[in-house]
């Protein structure tokens, strides 16, 4: 097959649901039944609609097994720590410690350093600290602050050992 034939077989389809017009307004694309597009006032309205749709799907996200969890998932899930802000920060911290070479990779049990990924995770936690400032409970704020402090010190140590 020549390059010209390959180009002719290529089909590009725009699957966006909304289009931003030249005047800045957002228009819904016509659906398959030929319904007329509905103009909206602004992008914020569309964002709100998306958030409403996402919140209605939250129940579906809670249980990946379907309506009733399978026995294997239920037993595994009971052994995990509760899902809260501190467990999220802890998870990111432990991943960072692995990238710094202080913990073995949980999959293959090898200790490998990846300082670029470690720095990225530390920066991610720093961004999380900035974005949540004033919205955390005192205990959560202290845990995040302390975790970042420790990880930054370990990062400097890991860089010196390089």
Domain-located, residue 31: no
User: For the chain, what is the mean pLDDT?
Assistant: 76
Neighbouring residues of 112: CB distance < 8 A, sequence distance ≥ 6? 101, 105
pLDDT at 37: 45
pLDDT at 117: 96
Domain of 155 in residue numbering reads as: 88-161
Domain-located, residue 106: yes
pLDDT in tens, 15-46: 666 666 667 666 665 533 455 544 444 445 54
pLDDT in tens, 54-67: 444 444 445 556 66
Domain-located, residue 127: yes
Domain-located, residue 114: yes
Domain-located, residue 132: yes
Domain-located, residue 33: no
Q: Is 64 helix (H, G, I), strand (E, B) or coil?
A: coil
Q: Which of 28, 49, 24 is nearest to 38 (CA)?
A: 28
Domain-located, residue 70: no
pLDDT at 60: 45
Q: Characterise 119 by phi-psi region: left (phi > 0), alpha (psi -120 to 50), beta (else).
A: alpha
Sign of the torsion angle spanned by Cα atoms 66, 70, 76, 80: positive
Q: Total domain count for the chain?
A: 1
Domain-located, residue 52: no
pLDDT in tens, 61-86: 455 566 666 777 777 778 887 889 99
pLDDT in tens, 105-149: 878 888 989 999 999 999 999 999 999 999 999 999 999 999 999
């Amino acid at each position: 097959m020549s390059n010209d034939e390959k180009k002719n077989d290529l089909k590009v389809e725009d699957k966006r649901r909304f289009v931003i017009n030249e005047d800045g307004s957002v228009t819904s694309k016509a659906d398959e039944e030929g319904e007329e597009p509905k103009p909206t006032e602004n992008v914020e309205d569309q964002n709100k609609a998306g958030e409403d749709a996402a919140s209605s799907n939250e129940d579906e996200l809670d249980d990946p097994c379907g309506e009733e969890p399978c026995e294997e998932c239920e037993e595994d899930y009971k052994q995990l720590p509760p899902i809260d802000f501190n467990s999220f920060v802890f998870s990111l911290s432990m991943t960072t410690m692995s990238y710094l070479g202080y913990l073995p990779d949980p999959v293959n049990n090898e200790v490998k350093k990846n300082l670029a990924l470690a720095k990225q995770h530390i920066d991610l936690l720093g961004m999380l600290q900035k974005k949540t400032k004033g919205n955390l409970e005192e205990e959560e704020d202290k845990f995040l602050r302390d975790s970042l402090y420790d990880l930054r010190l370990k990062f400097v140590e890991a860089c010196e050992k390089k």
